[in-house]
């Protein structure tokens, strides 16, 4: 063996893996072949540490049309011969190195996954994590990422309709940028990413190939970062959304109108031409021959290694039927796109790469696409037992604190009037970047283009109409790294449950999940433990709630200088409305409506403060042990969905960040009344700890409202599902009143809620 160890480190292969390659090939690979192995055996493409765990996730169901990981995205039957195609992916490390282009090309890549399936993209969602905005560099990353998402998505003419933004110290060195795309297609026009039919040509369509992005799959996505990572800027791709728009329209045109002209489409994403061609051939059980001298280039002097591993954007590999090659090329020419025949499908099971007359690589495809798998014995992190043993009841309750103590050091001062301690806590939570309105983010996105958006950003879930039908779909992204940090199993289950609850609050039946699992270095046994437990918790929640996982992505090695991010599973979920008019808003709709808490009573245990925003913001602690009763969660969701379907509810809002008080405030702020609509719950008497009752974040709770005449039916329905229904008060007036503890004008709550994030960005 003559390979240099530093070369293996550069392409993220271990010495054992190199020796395995030699054993399988019965020879040493040449530099081009080694680069191809490095890309396809990287964690990003090969899922070496995660694939054994991903098999735990349920991925089948009567509506599921594609197996998880077998196509570019997951497809779900929504009736009448239509399907929804969806996927979420990460662009974390590129966004750390170059935030605008990293985020922009993340959007471009996930959109290509959707139209590679022949589906028209109709919605983008995002899930973003940054370090505290008090740090200048985090503000730079935040502004660059948000600008990149908006800049690329807006140019494509695809609305960005929902998402989430979260902040924690663990993301300072490694922000998380997850992008999700959703599209529609006719089931009979669904496209597979397969290189079928020996003799069919391989057609490279779109942008010329450059040196940008080389090594993205293994250099950026399969290694940890350190202080020198800024030098990796050349490995970040550069996007051209206007070219991608043409590429999207051309591929959709081809799929919808000429399905008999071709056999497959595959986008060029991570590892570029290597992964695109090899994966397409592997799915079909074929081989291929590529002549890289035919690949159009925008830079001189590129060698075979660079051409095969370039991650230049806006490129697709199309496999036309050979008798329709000129038809396909003419279609792309009409869309002003270059297309070049760079190779041919073969039947030998080999990938032969030539540069003119010289063969530069010859590898068995089944070896290239069969990286080793690692199933480790994870060990709980050393901090876990101590944090889980923390008892929130050891802290002083709200009546034992002063309002000044609660607001000390906070970036948004209170109004001149005196605040009670509970009011000060609510004020602080509404203004903290974690909870405050994200309008500053989504106002940079065009969320109405295409005119399918019924409910846009700022609600529990976005709602998109299915044109030509009464149907609509609901979309959301959710996940809490803080909860998974404290209890990975419970946190994974709670991420799935909250996403489903958000859809249910809108009135949609949850149908399917696409997920992105963001973790640190899986070779560390404590990180592997987190990954294993999170996936197990998600799998159990998926089974109980009957929501399969149809697609997704795993992003590992998210750590810088030895500090890993919180274990952060992002759950993208889609739900279905049979009738779009049955959607339910989150804000109170009418004066005199009765307001209830569905799923729990008013006495909350101190344990509900575990991992809460209140505990973090007021006491500076991330501690405790969160938990969830999935059987209760299912009953609550079924009760809410049935109540909306029967027309009993006028509003429903998931009780999560900030607990009951913040949820009630958001329902007031989101009211259809100009300036908001209040809630008079002044008659409430809270037993036990006041902080837990107002700000505890126990799951499986929904704040709902109904007309007075529906009260009896709602109470009977809740009882039939064995779910508590607790009366809170009456909607109306201009103040939020919660017992004797909180009485604040809704207009002031709305102001602090809207000003929180802009003020934090001022530094």
Q: Show Cβ contacts of residue 61 under 8 Å, excluding neighbours closer than 6 positions.
A: 512, 546, 548
- Identify whether the C-beta of residue 108 lies closer than 8 Å to the C-beta of residue 151: no
Contact 753, 665 (CB under 8 A): yes
Burial 150-175 (b: 16+ CB within 10 A, else e): bbbbbbbebbbbbbbbbbbebbbbbb
What does the block give as tokens for 758?
């802009």
Report the side by side order of strands in the sheet with 287-291: 262-267, 315-320, 201-206, 339-346, 287-291, 350-355, 358-364
CA distances from 37 to 50, 193, 365 (A): 18, 21, 11
Annotated active-site residue in 44, 616, 657, 721: 44
Helix axes 272-284, 31-40, angle to 10 degrees: 70
3-state secondary structure of 500: helix
Q: Which of 91, 616, 657, 721 is catalytic?
A: 91
Q: Are the beta carbons of 551 and 454 closer than 8 angstroms?
A: no
Residues 6 or more apart whose CB falls under 8 angstroms from that of 496 comprise 513, 537, 538, 541, 542, 545, 547, 571, 573
Residue of 306, 282, 281, 307 whose CA lies nearest to 294: 307
* Active-site annotation holds for 447: no
Structural contact between residues 723 and 636, judged by C-beta atoms closer than 8 angstroms: yes
Strand order in the sheet with 462-465: 453-455, 462-465, 472-478, 568-577, 509-518, 549-555
- The Cα 59–Cα 67 span in angstroms is 7
Q: How far apart are CA 369 and CA 282, in angstroms?
A: 7
Comparing C-alpha atoms, which of 166, 339, 362, 351 is closest to residue 262? 339
- The DSSP line for 44-100 is HHH-TTTHHHHTTS----TTB-S-TTTSSSEEEEEETTEEEEEEEEE-HHHHHHSHH
36 and 246 in contact (C-beta within 8 Å)? no
Whose CA is closest to 120, among 201, 48, 186, 28? 186
Residue 320 corresponds to which tokens in the numbers above? 């036309």
Burial grade of 260 (CB within 10 A; 0-12, 13-18, 19 or more): exposed
- Using CA of residue 17, residue 23, residue 24, residue 27, what is the dihedral sign? positive
Q: How far is residue 535 from each of residues 47, 53, 366, 542, measured CA to CA in Å?
A: 14, 7, 28, 10
Q: Where are the beta strands (DSSP E) in 80-157?
A: 82-90, 120-130
| Residues with Cβ within 8 Å of residue 248, at least 6 apart in sequence | 111, 112, 115, 121, 156
44 part of the active site: yes
Helix residue ranges, H only, 463-506:
481-486, 488-506
Helices (H), 285-363: 304-309, 325-334
User: Which 3 state secondary structure label does DSSP give 150?
Assistant: helix
Residue with tokens 């001189």: 300
Q: Which residue has the tokens 């209140």?
A: 614
What does the alpha-carbon distance between residue 360 and residue 369 come to, in Å, rounded to a whole number? 19
Nearest to 273 by CA among 238, 233, 249, 304: 304
Q: Distance (Å, rounded) from C-alpha 261 to C-alpha 87?
A: 26
Task: Give the residue from 21, 51, 34, 31 showing the smallest Cα distance to 556.
Answer: 51
Helix (H) / strand (E) element for 570: namely strand 568-577
- Residue positions annotated with a catalytic role: 44, 91
């Amino acid at each position: 063996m003559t390979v240099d160890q530093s070369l293996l480190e550069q392409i993220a292969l271990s010495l054992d893996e190199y020796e395995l390659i030699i054993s399988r090939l019965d020879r040493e690979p040449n530099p081009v072949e080694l680069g191809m192995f490095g890309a396809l055996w990287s964690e990003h493409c090969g899922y070496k540490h995660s694939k054994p765990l991903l098999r735990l996730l349920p991925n089948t169901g009567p509506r599921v049309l594609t197996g998880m990981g077998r196509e570019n995205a997951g497809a779900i039957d929504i009736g009448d011969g239509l399907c929804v195609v969806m996927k979420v992916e990460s662009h974390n490390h590129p966004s750390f190195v170059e935030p605008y282009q990293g985020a922009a090309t993340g959007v471009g890549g996930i959109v290509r996954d959707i139209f590679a399936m022949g589906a028209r993209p109709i919605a983008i969602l995002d899930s973003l994590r940054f370090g505290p905005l008090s740090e200048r560099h985090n503000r730079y990353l935040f502004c660059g990422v948000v600008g990149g998402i908006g800049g690329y998505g807006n140019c494509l003419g695809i609305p960005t309709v929902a998402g989430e933004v979260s902040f924690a110290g663990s993301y300072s060195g490694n922000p998380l940028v997850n992008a999700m795309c959703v599209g529609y297609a006719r089931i009979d026009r669904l496209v597979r990413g397969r290189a079928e039919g020996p003799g069919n040509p391989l057609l490279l369509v779109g942008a010329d190939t450059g040196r940008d992005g080389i090594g993205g799959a293994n250099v950026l996505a399969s290694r940890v970062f350190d202080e020198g990572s800024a030098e990796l800027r050349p490995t970040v791709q550069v996007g051209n959304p206007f070219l991608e728009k043409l590429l999207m329209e051309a591929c959709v045109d081809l799929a919808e109108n000429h399905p008999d002209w071709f056999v497959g489409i595959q986008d060029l994403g991570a590892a570029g031409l290597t992964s695109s061609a090899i994966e397409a051939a592997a799915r079909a059980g074929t081989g291929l021959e590529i002549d890289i001298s035919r690949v159009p280039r925008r830079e001189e002097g590129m060698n075979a290694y660079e051409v095969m591993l370039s991650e230049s954007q806006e490129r697709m590999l199309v496999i036309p039927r050979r008798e329709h090659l000129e038809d396909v090329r003419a279609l792309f020419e009409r869309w002003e796109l270059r297309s070049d025949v760079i190779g041919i499908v073969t039947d030998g099971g080999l990938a032969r790469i030539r540069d003119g007359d010289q063969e530069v690589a010859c590898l068995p495809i089944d070896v290239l696409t069969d990286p080793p798998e690692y199933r480790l014995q994870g060990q709980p992190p050393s901090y876990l037992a101590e944090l889980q043993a923390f008892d929130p009841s050891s802290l002083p309750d709200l009546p034992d604190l002063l309002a000044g103590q609660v607001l000390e050091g906070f970036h948004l001062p209170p109004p001149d009037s005196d605040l009670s301690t509970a009011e000060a806590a609510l004020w602080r939570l509404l203004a903290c970047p974690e909870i405050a309105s994200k309008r500053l983010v989504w106002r940079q996105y065009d969320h109405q283009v295409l005119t399918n958006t019924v409910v846009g950003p700022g609600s529990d879930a976005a709602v998109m109409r299915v044109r030509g039908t009464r149907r609509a779909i609901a979309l959301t992204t959710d996940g809490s790294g803080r909860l998974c940090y404290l209890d990975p199993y419970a946190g994974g289950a709670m991420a799935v449950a909250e996403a489903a609850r958000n859809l249910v609050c809108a009135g949609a039946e949850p149908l399917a999940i696409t997920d992105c699992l963001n973790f640190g270095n899986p070779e560390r046994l404590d990180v592997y433990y987190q990954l294993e437990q999170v996936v197990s918790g998600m799998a159990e929640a998926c089974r109980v709630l009957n929501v399969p996982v149809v697609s997704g992505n795993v992003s590992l090695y998210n750590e810088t200088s030895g500090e890993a991010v919180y274990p952060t599973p992002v759950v993208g979920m889609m739900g279905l409305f049979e009738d779009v008019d049955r959607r339910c808003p989150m804000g109170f709709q009418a004066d005199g409506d009765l307001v209830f808490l569905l799923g729990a009573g008013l006495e909350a245990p101190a344990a509900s403060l575990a991992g809460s925003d209140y505990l973090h913001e007021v006491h500076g602690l991330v501690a405790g042990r969160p938990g969830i009763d999935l059987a209760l969660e299912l009953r609550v969701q079924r009760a809410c969905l049935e109540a909306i379907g029967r027309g009993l509810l006028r509003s429903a809002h998931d009780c999560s960040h900030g607990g009951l008080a913040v949820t009630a405030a958001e329902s007031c702020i989101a009211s259809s009344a100009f300036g908001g609509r209040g809630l008079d719950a002044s008659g409430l008497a809270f037993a036990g700890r006041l902080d837990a009752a107002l700000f505890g974040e126990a799951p499986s709770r929904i704040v709902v409202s109904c007309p007075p005449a529906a009260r009896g039916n709602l109470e009977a329905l809740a009882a039939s599902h064995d779910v508590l229904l607790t009366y809170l008060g009456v909607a109306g007036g201009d103040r939020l009143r919660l017992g004797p503890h909180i009485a604040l004008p809704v207009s002031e709550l709305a102001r602090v809620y809207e000003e929180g994030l802009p003020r934090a960005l001022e530094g």
